[in-house]
Amino acid sequence: MEPRLVREMLERVRTGELAVEEALEALRGLPFRDLGVATVDHHRALRQGVPEVIFGEGKTPEQIVLIAQEIARAGQNVLVTRVDAAKGAAVASLLPAFRYVPLARTGSIEVAPTPKRAAGPVAVVTAGTSDLPVAEEAIETLRAVGLEAKRLYDVGVAGLHRFLHRLEELRKASAVIVVAGMEGALPSVVGGLVAAPVVAVPTSVGYGAALGGFTALFSMLTSCASGVAVVNIDSGFGAAMVVHRMLPKE
């Protein structure tokens, strides 16, 4: 259950609009519900400010639908990550409210509009066009937690003038997510030029010695720019959640 729903319910109890017994019944679904194939954590929104997110890879469309329906039943918005096109179509056929974004490989159901956060835009920067699926996963996750995103794409170090051309936009961001494969140098450049928090995302983009993203990961972990946080390979979702925790919730 989301904090706003708990506040609304407590306010209704305070004013006498809702009986205490009715409120207790509404709270019986906390903190979780066992569906057999999954145990849905309804308490997560209260702890972390965002409902449980469904990792779609490895799950059947029917399992995703079952979990999504339970989250939505509790009055919470639904976000599903790592959903391929075939699975996205299958889920959408069973849940008409399911909004699928092919490039991001995410799907969502909006039960209620997500309140917009006061924090300034989060810049999502990519080194190249091949990094877009990971960046768009971050974009969709930021949208789900009420944070505005600013796309700054294809500004890698191979053409540094492209990045410098967008520097003023970058400096207005409240946080920066930098997505890069190959040698993974871009987060160090960004980290040396902006004061905002920088979260680096290595991607599995690159030729043989890129080692499926490990070269970029090691480069980002040994960045000479102080204070750059690094998440797992291809984890646009993970980067957005780091930013969610960093920035003010209101």
Q: How many whole angstroms separate alpha carbon 73 and alpha carbon 145?
A: 19
Largest Cα separation within the chain, whole Å, is: 66
In this structure, are residues 168 and 186 in contact, taking their beta carbons and an 8 Å threshold?
no
Listed residue (127, 118, 110) closest to 146, CA to CA:
118
Structure confidence at residue 68 (pLDDT): 95
Residue 46 lies in a domain: yes
Q: Are residues 140 and 103 in the same domain?
A: no
Judgement on whether residues 129 and 98 belong to the same structural domain of the protein: no
Distance of CA 247 to the CA centre of its chain: 14
* Domain co-membership, 131 together with 229: yes
Question: Is 151 found in the same domain as 57?
Answer: no
Among the candidates 52, 84, 109, a domain finishes at 109
Confidence tier at 25 by pLDDT (50, 70, 90):
low
Q: Residue 74: what pLDDT?
A: 84
Q: What angle do CA 179, 185, 191 make, to 5 degrees?
A: 75
- Do 187 and 225 contact (CB within 8 A), yes or no? yes
Of 56, 76, 109, which residue constitutes the final position of a domain? 109
Domain that holds residue 7: 3-109
Burial of 142 (0-12, 13-18, 19+ CB in 10 A): buried
User: Both 182 and 218 in a single domain?
Assistant: yes
Residue 12 has pLDDT above 90, yes or no: no
Q: How confident is the model at residue 225 (pLDDT cuts 50, 70, 90)?
A: very high
Supply 247's token pair: 């920035």
Residue type (1 letter), 107? G
If asked whether residues 97 and 136 sit together in one domain, one would say no
Look up residue 37 and give its two tokens.
């194939």
Are 171 and 91 in the same domain?
no
Q: Minimum mean pLDDT among 25-29, 106-110, 120-124: which range?
A: 25-29
Number of structural domains found in the chain:
2
Q: Is residue 117 part of a domain?
A: no
Dihedral of the alpha carbons of 109, 114, 120, 122, in degrees to the nearest 10: -20
Adjacent-strand bridge partners of 126: 179
State how far the Cα of 230 lies from the Cα of 208, in Å rounded to an integer: 22
Measured CA to CA in angstroms, residue 56 lies from 2, 36, 78, 103 at distances of 22, 17, 12, 15
Q: Are residues 20 and 94 in the same domain?
A: yes
Return the CA Rg of the chain.
Answer: 20
Count Cβ atoms below 10 Å from residue 179 Cβ, excluding itself.
33
pLDDT mean over 60-85: 94
Residue 80: enclosing H or E segment and its boundaries? Answer: strand 78-81
Residue 33 confidence (pLDDT): 65
**Cα separation, 192 vs 107, whole angstroms:** 35
**CB–CB of 233/212 below 8 Å?**
yes
CATH of the domain at 174: 3.40.50.1970
